Amino acid sequence: MYKCSIIFLSVLSGLLLAGCSSDNDGADDNLSEPPVEINLSRSQQDIVDSQARFAFDYFKQTSAWAGNERNMVISPLSLSMDLAMLANGAGERTYADIVSALHLPQASTDELNTLYKSLVGELIGADRKVQLSIANGIWNDQSSKLKEGFIKNIANHYTADCQSIDFSNSEQSRNIINQWAAEKTKGIITNIFEEEQQALSSSSMILCNALYFNGEWAIPFVKENTKQLAFTNIDNSESIVETMTEAKCYFSHALTDDAEIISLPYGNGTFSMYVILPSVEGQAGNYEMIYDRFIENIDYDWWIATKSQMNADESINVMMPKFKIETLCPMIGVTTMRELSAAVNNPDMSNMTDSEINFLSLNQYNSIEVMEKGTVAASVTKGDLIAISPMSVRMNINRPFIFLIEEQSTGTILFMGKVIKL
């Protein structure tokens, strides 16, 4: 079962890795390949920037909903692609709700479709040490006919497979869709239904996006150097956890008044994980209050300004815990994204089907594992259309932190999350 918790982050940027004093196999091979620059038009880059703002909204609102009980990971890219596909089938009112949530009030479906087709094509294969796959699928009940224009747009721009199945046979339908999710996420996410016996007889169609990421660090942590060290949890208790350690390396890093940030690249540097440690020194109150206040005060503009202060002039000794998180974020738009509440409670999907649609259930299933070799992460976002309503020179990451994975040249955010308890 996937459980949801939360905290925040998203957005774009740059990272540099100049070199490392440790002897890591494959490091020189990684560094010999320059990062891939993804070239987008000005209008396409504006859409990606807006997607980053959307990512902050998604993370912050989900964080407030989930509180400080569990670690969490979400995928803004997966959700935004699912919403873009849904926008193709939406009538005027619901389309306006979707693009407003995405911070794209003026964007046309053609602009959205062209951007995502171009972006996906560039992201996949940008780094031979990063396996990235993005897949889309649509299943409609035999009694609900999809419009030809919608099918054509989704097939052409999102390479989505459309299949008509008998939703009255709920077990068979769940198995078909779950097998698709398992295949597209390399067996990481195998069940995207909250209940094993969930009936699909009230559903008209299900639309999914699946995202899989497997990236090797540009400078992998040496497994033999992993130690049992203390991690301070959000409730100020301590846990002894497996902590990866890296001898002095030149990572892009910044220490500001409110946070310490480091950029840990994968492969050739096209993708990177950012780790953000909110500052606790000199602040009154417990960890929970400090972290909640930090999340409330940051946004996309803060992130851009903070990234501009990062440099790779000093070698950093990094200590980072290994971790694995699985998250189910249910009912997006009702519990987590206020801008989407009207779209999910009373959707107009008249450009997708003439069948009656009274409710849109959005759920996201996520998993991430960070270890010495690199990171493996996966996400499936499911839209169910229902016919009835339902520090410096050393950075010790030894307390709650925020992380995100992004493509560097465009700022596309694949995953983000928080670790508050180990």
Is residue 386, in this structure, part of any structural domain at all? Answer: yes
Is residue 243, in this structure, part of any structural domain at all? Answer: no
Is residue 106, in this structure, part of any structural domain at all? Answer: yes
Confidence of residue 4 (pLDDT cuts 50, 70, 90): very low
- What integer pLDDT is reported at residue 287 of this predicted model? 84
- What integer pLDDT is reported at residue 393 of this predicted model? 55
- What integer pLDDT is reported at residue 314 of this predicted model? 74
CB of 315 within 8 A of CB of 253?
no
Domain region containing 367: 44-216+324-390
For residue 61, give the DSSP letter: H
Q: Computed from CA positions of residues 246, 247, 252, 257, in that sequence, does the dihedral angle turn out positive or negative?
A: positive
Structural domain count, the chain:
1
Is residue 195, in this structure, part of any structural domain at all? Answer: yes
Is residue 100, in this structure, part of any structural domain at all? Answer: yes
Phi, psi of 156, deg, nearest 5: -75, -40
- The distance from CA 302 to its chain's CA centroid, rounded to whole angstroms, is 19
Is residue 297, in this structure, part of any structural domain at all? Answer: no
Q: Which residues contact 351 (CB under 8 A, 6 or more apart)?
A: 88, 89, 90, 91, 147, 149, 150
Mean pLDDT of 102-120: 91
CATH number for position 81: 3.30.497.10
> Rg of the Cα trace of the chain?
21
Q: pLDDT tens digits for 75-90?
A: 999 999 999 999 999 9
- The distance from CA 129 to its chain's CA centroid, rounded to whole angstroms, is 19
Q: Which residues contact 122 (CB under 8 A, 6 or more apart)?
A: 36, 38
pLDDT exceeds cutoff 80 at 413? yes
Average pLDDT, the chain: 87
